[in-house]
Chains A and B, each alone.
Chain A
Amino acid sequence: DAGVIQSPRHEVTEMGQEVTLRCKPISGHDYLFWYRQTMMRGLELLIYFNNNVPIDDSGMPEDRFSAKMPNASFSTLKIQPSEPRDSAVYFCASSLSAEQSYGYTFGSGTRLTVV
């Protein structure tokens, strides 16, 4: 298995533009998580899905952020309009179960810079 695949690896965009981040989880994993990581705030959970259904989106910072999971093999995180404070590394992770012994498998992240 290729692991969790995220695209793009890097994204530089201008303030006000729409940004779409993509994630392909590991096949058979029922849970998908979107995280944001910054030096100041560390890892923050934005939203997670179970069997393609959003379960908890309380970490989504504002209405500018939205996430979808149209099928078991694909998810998107969209920011519209983007702002400089959205600059961060965004990680997607998937897990076989909510049981923590399985752990989360993270992708390599998308480094977003909004100028």
Chain B
Amino acid sequence: QKEVEQDPGPLSVPEGAIVSLNCTYSNSAFQYFMWYRQYSRKGPELLMYTYSSGNKEDGRFTAQVDKSSKYISLFIRDSQPSDSATYLCAMSSMDSNYQLIWGAGTKLIIKP
């Protein structure tokens, strides 16, 4: 079993829909949770960062962390074709010397 599980998709939704992307993990020591977005032929870029549990909102994006269920989510409201990309979750802990453990990435397609 991988430390971080993420459905690779692809996930295809119509423009304007609410998108939910998820990751589950097994290591209860994880404290730092991130979502990276990767466009085709580009490197990943940090989209959202959350420490410990709770929600964080930034514009159309909301990140949620549920440590009791070992489950994190990224919601995208009013999705746009420009949101089409691969979304990777990543997490780390002080025990791992902060090194990131990555999910496989979910490919998201927003249809105009």
Residues of A within 8 A of B (CB): 4, 42-43, 45, 48, 56, 91, 93, 98-101, 103-109
Contacts and interface: CB of A to CB of B under 8 A. Distances in A.
Interface of B: 32, 34, 41-46, 49, 51, 88, 92, 97-100, 102-105
Given A42-B105, A43-B88, A100 B42 contact: no
A47 B104 CA distance: 19
A103 B49 contact: yes
A47 B25 CA distance: 23
Contacts of B92: 100
A99 B43 contact: no
Nearest to A92: B43
B49 A100 contact: yes
Contacts of A56: 97, 99
Contact of A106 (B45, B49, B51, B103): B45
Contacts of A45: 99-100
A98 B88 CA distance: 19
* Interface SS, B side: loop
Nearest to B103: A42
**Top 9 A-B pairs ranked by shortest CB distance?**
A106-B43, A103-B46, A100-B32, A98-B98, A43-B102, A42-B104, A91-B43, A101-B49, A106-B44
Contacts of B104: 42
A95 to B, nearest CB: 9
Contacts of B102: 42-43
A103 B90 CA distance: 11
A78 B103 CA distance: 26
B111 to A, nearest CB: 23
A42 B92 CA distance: 17
Given A43-B102, A45-B100, A56-B97, A93 B43 contact: yes
A99 B34 CA distance: 12
5 contacts: A43-B105, A100-B32, A104-B46, A106-B43, A106-B45
